[in-house]
A = this chain, B = another copy of it.
Amino acid sequence: MSNGAETNDTGAVDEDSSGAADDRQPEVEAARQKVIGAMERSAEVYGLNRSYGRLYGILYFQDDPVSLDELTDRSGYAKSTVSTAMKKLERLHLVHRRSVPGEGKKAFFEAEREFWQVIQELLRHEVKREIDIMTRALDEAEQRLEAAEDERAEQDLEKVRHLERMFGRGERLVNVLTGSSVERLTSLLERLRRE
């Protein structure tokens, strides 16, 4: 607990590129914390844990990959907590695990900073899988309902088919979104806005 203020209480942590400790300039640190705080909030809203937002935020501002130990220092969480959090963040494609040549087994992490990339991966894997499962359930339900000749069955059938149409559209949308490059999609968006 009391995680808000103790982020850099360990004092002289060696810094990545500029070489200086990063709690020197209080304004810079305040700016970072502002953004990281917003990320924590976002994480919470989108169904994740605040800690994930925090950890992602820490990574976001580091130029070079960060080791597990350094992350535990910077975040204030226990190593085990960070380890499991990293596993989840990796599954969400929000961070990447790196290994650094001279550093043995040590694991390093870096933030994926292109959100569109993250969204695409999520669509490709999680969302697509959900659509597939739903589609299978709908198909099976449709077959059962077609077999049963019943007034009740007719009404349900209509509703099931409505769902099938919507999920079909969803699937096509996902295909388009995951099949295009970021550039193509942004230019498309621009065109859209002007039309």
Contacts and interface: CB of A to CB of B under 8 A. Distances in A.
Interface in A112-134: 113-116, 126, 130, 133-134
A160 B28 CA distance: 12
A13 interface: no
A28 B152 contact: yes
A184 to B, nearest CB: 9
A27 B148 contact: yes
A92 interface: no
A78 interface: no
A126 B145 CA distance: 37
Interface of A: 17-18, 20, 22, 24-25, 27-28, 30-32, 34-35, 37-39, 41-42, 45-47, 60-61, 63, 113-116, 126, 130, 133-134, 137-138, 140-142, 144-145, 147-148, 150-153, 155-156, 159-160, 162-163, 166, 169-170, 172-173, 175-176, 186, 188-189, 192-193
